[in-house]
A and B are shown apart, each in its own frame.
Chain A
Amino acid sequence: MQQQYTVAKIVDICVEAGRVMLENGAETYRVEDTLYRIAKSYRLENINVFVVPTALIITVQGDDGQDYTELLRMNDRNTNLEKVSMVNDLSRQLARKPLPPKKVREKLSNIINTPTNFTRLQRNLSMALACGGFTLLFGGSYMEVLPAFIAGGLGHYLFEVVKNWTNVSFFAEMVASFFIGMLSFVFVRIGFGLDLNIIIIGSVMSLVPGMAITNSFRDLMAGHLLAGVAVLAKALITAGAIGIGIAIVLAFL
C-alpha cells in the first residue's frame, strides 16, 4: 500500500511523542510500546524503537526500502502523569484513524502546553501532608506528625528552589536533607516531637527515590536491562546524597 504521508514526518511525530512521554516520567517500555503503535498505525514496516532513560532511537523502513533513523538525547525529567495519559490517548486515537502529521503535531504541542492542575504552593502543602502521613506509617505517634509536616514541607520547598539555582546533580537533595536533619534536631531538642529518627525518615520521604527503585525493577522484569540498571544506579546515588546530608547532621550531635 502506498504511503500517504512522508516517512520522515511520521518519524518526527513519533520522536516528539516519545520526548513528551519520557520528559514526564513514563517508563521506558511504555514509551517503546507507544511509539511502536504510532508508527504501526501509519502502516510502516520494520519498526525498531530503543529507549533508555537518557536517549531514544527509532528506525523505520519506508516503502522505497530506505531506512529513516532519528536519535533524541534526553536530559531533564519530572513526573506528570496527566501528560503521559494524554499521549497514550492520542496513540489510541491514531490506531483507530491515522491523522495527518501536522494535526498530530498540533495536538502534541497542546499537550505540552497544558498547565499543571495544581499551583506550587498546593504541591508543597500536599508533600508536607504526605510526610506527616508517613511518620504514622513508619510507626510514629501523633507527636511526630506535625514536626514532619513542617520539616518535610520546608525541605521539599528548599529542594525545588536549589534545583532551579544549580545544575550540579544530587546537590539539591543533599542541601534539602541537611536542612531537614537540622530542623528535626532542633524540633526534638525543644521538645516538639519525640523520636528524631521517625521524624527524619518521614520528612525525607518527599526526596527519596522509592518510585525509581520500583520502576527500575519493573524495567528489569520487562527485559529492559540497560534502562533498569541505569535507573537503579541513579536511585542509589540519590539515596546516597540524602544519606550524606542526614549523616553530616547526626555526626555533630
Chain B
Amino acid sequence: MILTYITYFLAAFVATFGFCVMYNVPTRTILASSISGAFGWLVYYIIALQFELVLFIGAGAASFLIAFLSQWFARRYKMPVIVFAVPAIIPLVPGSSAYSMMRSFIEGDSEAALLFATETFLVSGAIALGLSLNSGLFQVFSSRAFGRREKRYLP
C-alpha cells in the first residue's frame, strides 16, 4: 500500500521534472515544482481512483493544492506563480484522453471517443477552476492584509 503511494509519488515527480527541463524552468526552482506536481498527483490518485469520487472533484482538488503550493513557493523564491504551477499540473492535464479521443474518432469508435471527450473537457475545466479558485481566494485575503492593491488575474 505504502509502496504504491511511493511509486506514484516518484513517477509523478519524474514526469514533472522532465517537463520542467523541457520548459526551461529556472534551475533553483525545479525541485519545488516537481514536489508540488508529485503531491498534486497523489491527491488526484487518492480522491479520484482510491475513493472513486468523480474525476472532476479529484482534478479540482489536486489543482487547488498545486496552486496553493505554487503561491507559497512563489513568495519564497520571489518568482511568478506560473513557474511553479505550469510544470506541476502536467501529470494532471488530460493529454492522454485528448489523444485517445482523437484516435477513437479516427478508428470509428464514436462512443468511446465521446467518453474520452467528456473526460478531457471535465478534467481540464476542473484544473482551470481549481487554479482560479485559489487565486480568487488569495486576492480576497491578501488585499486586506497588504492594503489597497490593483486587481489582477493570477493563474
Residues of A near any B CB (own CB < 8 A): 25-27, 29-30, 33, 79-85, 88, 116-118, 122-123, 126-134, 136-138, 201, 204-206, 208-211, 213-214, 216-218, 220-222, 235-236, 239-240, 242-244, 246-247, 250-251
Contact = CB atoms under 8 A, between A and B. Distances in A.
Contact of A138 (B13, B96, B131): B96
Nearest to A201: B96
Nearest to A211: B93
A214 B127 contact: yes
A247 B98 contact: no
Q: Is the interface of A mostly helix, strand, loop or mixed?
A: helix
Contacts of B99: 201, 204, 208, 239, 242-243, 246
B24 interface: yes
A217 B132 CA distance: 11
A130 B27 CA distance: 17
A211 to B, nearest CB: 6
A222 B13 CA distance: 29
A235 B98 contact: yes
A85 B96 contact: no
Given A137-B11, A217-B125, A123 B95 contact: no
A126 B21 CA distance: 7
Interface of B: 7-8, 10-27, 41, 79-80, 82-83, 86-87, 89-91, 93-96, 98-103, 105-107, 120, 124-125, 127-129, 131-132, 152-153, 155
Contact of B19 (A130, A220, A246): A130
A116 B82 contact: no
A126 B94 CA distance: 20
Contacts of A83: 24
15 contacts: A82-B25, A126-B17, A127-B21, A129-B18, A130-B14, A130-B15, A136-B11, A204-B99, A205-B95, A214-B94, A217-B125, A220-B128, A221-B132, A222-B132, A222-B153
Nearest to B20: A126
A247 B22 CA distance: 27
* Most chain B beta-carbon neighbours within 10 Å: one of A82, A84, A213: A213
Given A137-B41, A201-B100, A204-B99, A27 B8 contact: no
B89 A208 contact: no
